[in-house]
Structure 1
Amino acid sequence: MEDPLQYLRELLAKPDWTDDERRWLLHYLEHTPATELKTLLLEAFRERNIPAYDPALQESLLAGIHARMQPATTVRRMGWWRAAAAVGGIAVLLAGGAVLMRQSQPMKPVAKADVHIPEEVNGNIAPGGNKARLVLRNGKTVVLDQTADGHIGEGNVEKKDAELLYASEEGSGGGSNTLITPRGGQYRVRLSDGTKVWLNAASRLEYPVAFGGKERLVSLTGEAYFEVAADVQRPFFVMVDGMKVQVLGTKFNVNAYTEEKQFTTALLEGAVRVTGGGRQVTLRPGQESAFSPKSGSLKQYDGDMESAVAWKNGIITFRNDELSAVMRDLGRWYDVDVAYEPGLDKEIHVTGAMRKQEHLAEALKILELTAGVHFTVEGRTVKVSR
């Protein structure tokens, strides 16, 4: 083939691949030296005046390619993943930094690729950012994104570079603070014991100004990623409506949005004990649990850690998720409401990823092309139709 780069462009731009095309790509990735693939990738970026490849997108892009190649019987061979790492970024060139595939059923043709956005909005609904408010123990509320860096309130907490830093526990006094992120907001906090917490959009974390007694306890609504400071004498507890996560020192993610069907806990390091509905499971690294507040069921399974914490790393990712769940995620991050055409199939399953820095119009354009639906934005409402 005279121009493999051009063929790769054409192949990745197609909505679906034939078995022959899948076999060609597997063969190409397994037999082309990594240095040559890197050269091809750099050439593609130079042609489009793109300064650098964002490595944070690599795994999500590869997951997208993998999803499209599932019908190929040789897809489970391991060698191609190493080679694909050098070429994964080509998908960015074709999708403007986002990759989404409809996995559960064949692609529907879409006649119009552009999302209709009224002039007063003009497609510029920006993504979320570091926004939150802090409710102090004296009841005072501080809007953090409108507050300069420095000490806040009673002086035991400092704001620095979109993060709250609490003083050591000695002499901090009692009482609790509450950190609240709006839709379209996220924030970080280092608690008085050294535990670090990343709080996702539309979430709420209540915690003591200083941990006293024989345990450390916080309450969560929404989603947060924790890196808990080890203290074998004082276990750390995350309390969620009907569920409790007990920790000794570890890294884990808890997704407990009340509008979701289940609360999930994903463990990256250490060990946690999850209790809910009268049952209890102990997770090992790489495992997740899912608790249903409605039925009280609690299950344990091997999980997808990269997907579970992608939001913390600047990526919105979906792994065979229903369209309605995808739109709830987008609604929280872009602070928009979603309305569906009557009778629309909201159980379409979507796999893929996009950068959280994308504006809404670009995110919807990619999703429109891949999910076989159409979006119209009116004010801050996204209407979904066939």
Structure 2
Amino acid sequence: MQEKDIFNLLTDESFCNYCLKTNVEDVEYWENWLKENPSERENIESQKALVILLAHETATQVAQNEYRKLQQRIQLSGKNSGKLFPLIRRWGIAASLIISFSLGYYFYHKAQRNQQIASTISNKIVPGNARVMLILANGQKIELNTAASGTVARQSNTTIRKTNDGRIIYDGDSKNILYNTAITARGGKFELTLADGTKVTLDAASSIRYPVSFIGKERKVEITGQVYFEVAHNPAKPFRVLTRGQTIEVLGTHFNVNAYDDEPVIKTTLLEGSVKVNYLGENVLLKPGQQALVKNGISIIRVSAVDPELVVAWKNGLFRFNKTDLLSVMRQIARWYDMEVIYPEALKNTDLFEGSTLRSANVQSILKQLEVTGHVKFEVDGNKIIVRNK
């Protein structure tokens, strides 16, 4: 199906009625058309999913961001035949997305109420919940995802509370140095607020060790995995993050650290403020929009400009890929869906992937799109993803 045809579909009133099931006659028309044109079913289903995605409010921000980047490059024509919707903002966004990704791909996700998009693959694997373990200073372990809202524990003069939306907040000012550790499982994500007001978001398979109350001249925490920080400003007490031999020093800022053990480099990305990254005696000062890359055992810190929104897409419930290789894509999928990836002895794939999808999608729908756009195919066997060359 050509790009012009795709554009017309997304602005065709009959097709939109079919996707959203708002007109019985249009539904019947398109179902009959698919029976007569079975070779176009995959294209139609893909565009149908996109229409529903755009109709779902959780996808609005994603589409708007992509539209703003593309609207200066893409001229939307209002001259279309057949029954058409006016080219209102949302359908304009859809059209620009399709044209933009004509050389790549666009992932899609279904909302729960749109069961008609369901894949023919049974036993769909969906991501986990906010599974997190809190380990107190005395060694007591608390499963926070099953704990009731309200006071979870007390340590010295500090109260640990769980909010109605599942976040953890520390209240009080302990005079004793007590350390807690929060650990997210594979497939989990969690938010907590430290005693100084610093907000922390942990991605899957990540951890943070921190004091119940910050005593002394500095605020120091240790992390593994991927963690996003919004550090409370306090010039008199610098905030330091330690991970894999690297130290990040800040006063008050927003930044992201990706330090998974299975990633080849540690990535520190600055969104607001400034941070100083130290590794093996080398130091760099980052500005907003910059990323520091550190390779284990090499005392060279490389700095590059990046799109911060791409880096923190995980925090906002998205997978976003920008010329990302297959191995990197699969590491993210494996952590989020708590799966093992098995590769062939000789992996021939050299594709770089681009696109976006909600992290609430089932894994089969994502793998199907990767198959369409790359030179690999996938088989899901229990909690294993088997990669094969096409």
What's the TM-score bracket when you normalise by the shorter of the two chains?
0.7 to 0.9
Secondary structure in 2 matching 1:128: coil
The question of whether the paired residues in 2 share the 8 Å contact of 1:290 and 1:299 is answered with yes
* Cα shift readout 1:29-61 (whole Å, capped 9, x = no counterpart): xxxxxxxxxxx3888654411443522322675
Matches within 5 A, 1:190-205: 190-205=193-208
Secondary structure in 2 matching 1:167: strand
Report how far residue 257 of structure 1 moved: 0.5
The TM-score, its normalising length taken from structure 1, stands at 0.76
**2:94 paired with 1:89:** yes
**2:122 paired with 1:129:** no
Q: Following the alignment from structure 2 to structure 1, what is the Cα–Cα distance between the partners of residues 72 and 65?
A: 18
Report how far residue 151 of structure 1 moved: 1.1
Q: What letter corresponds to residue 256 of structure 2 in structure 1?
A: N
Instruction: Name the counterpart of 1:178.
Output: 181
The TM-score, its normalising length taken from structure 2, stands at 0.75
Instruction: Name the counterpart of 1:33.
Output: none
Q: Following the alignment from structure 1 to structure 2, what is the Cα–Cα distance between the partners of residues 128 and 81?
A: 38
* Cα shift readout 1:184-230 (whole Å, capped 9, x = no counterpart): 00000000000000100000110000000000000010001100000
The question of whether the paired residues in 1 share the 8 Å contact of 2:293 and 2:303 is answered with yes
The question of whether the paired residues in 2 share the 8 Å contact of 1:41 and 1:86 is answered with no
Instruction: Name the counterpart of 1:79.
Output: 72
The question of whether the paired residues in 2 share the 8 Å contact of 1:41 and 1:90 is answered with no
Matches within 5 A, 1:1-386: 6-8=5-7, 40=11, 45-49=16-20, 50=52, 51-53=55-57, 54-58=59-63, 79-80=72-73, 87-89=92-94, 101=104, 122-154=122-154, 156-160=159-163, 161-168=165-172, 170-171=173-174, 173-386=176-389
Q: Following the alignment from structure 2 to structure 1, what is the Cα–Cα distance between the partners of residues 309 and 75?
A: 17
Paired residues, what number?
Answer: 325
Q: Following the alignment from structure 1 to structure 2, what is the Cα–Cα distance between the partners of residues 256 and 44?
A: 45
More divergent stretch after superposition (271-280 vs 172-181): 172-181
* Cα shift readout 1:95-142 (whole Å, capped 9, x = no counterpart): xxx99937xxxxxxxxxxx9996xxxx242111321111001110111
Secondary structure in 1 matching 2:93: coil
Q: Could you say if the C-alpha distance between residues 255 and 48 of structure 1 is closer, same or farther in structure 2, counting changes exceeding 3 Å? A: same
* Cα shift readout 1:274-303 (whole Å, capped 9, x = no counterpart): 011321110111111111114232111111
The question of whether the paired residues in 2 share the 8 Å contact of 1:338 and 1:382 is answered with yes
Secondary structure in 2 matching 1:79: coil
* Cα shift readout 1:50-89 (whole Å, capped 9, x = no counterpart): 44352232267559x97xxxxxxxxxxx723697986333
RMSD: 3.1
Q: Could you say if the C-alpha distance between residues 355 and 172 of structure 1 is closer, same or farther in structure 2, counting changes exceeding 3 Å? A: farther
Q: Could you say if the C-alpha distance between residues 209 and 298 of structure 1 is closer, same or farther in structure 2, counting changes exceeding 3 Å? A: same
* Cα shift readout 1:166-191 (whole Å, capped 9, x = no counterpart): 114x2464311100001000000000
* Cα shift readout 1:296-330 (whole Å, capped 9, x = no counterpart): 32111111101110000010111111101100000
Q: Following the alignment from structure 1 to structure 2, what is the Cα–Cα distance between the partners of residues 44 and 250?
A: 47
* Cα shift readout 1:218-267 (whole Å, capped 9, x = no counterpart): 00100011000000000000101111110010111010001111001111
The question of whether the paired residues in 1 share the 8 Å contact of 2:349 and 2:374 is answered with no
The gaps in structure 1 that reach 5 residues or longer are: 13-39, 67-77, 103-113
Report how far residue 345 of structure 1 moved: 2.6
Asked which structure has the greater RCO (Cα within 8 Å, sep 6+), the reply is: 1
Q: Could you say if the C-alpha distance between residues 310 and 224 of structure 1 is closer, same or farther in structure 2, counting changes exceeding 3 Å? A: same
Q: Following the alignment from structure 1 to structure 2, what is the Cα–Cα distance between the partners of residues 316 and 172?
A: 42
Q: What letter corresponds to residue 72 of structure 2 in structure 1?
A: G
The question of whether the paired residues in 2 share the 8 Å contact of 1:123 and 1:360 is answered with no
Q: What letter corresponds to residue 246 of structure 1 in structure 2?
A: E
Q: What letter corresponds to residue 73 of structure 2 in structure 1?
A: W
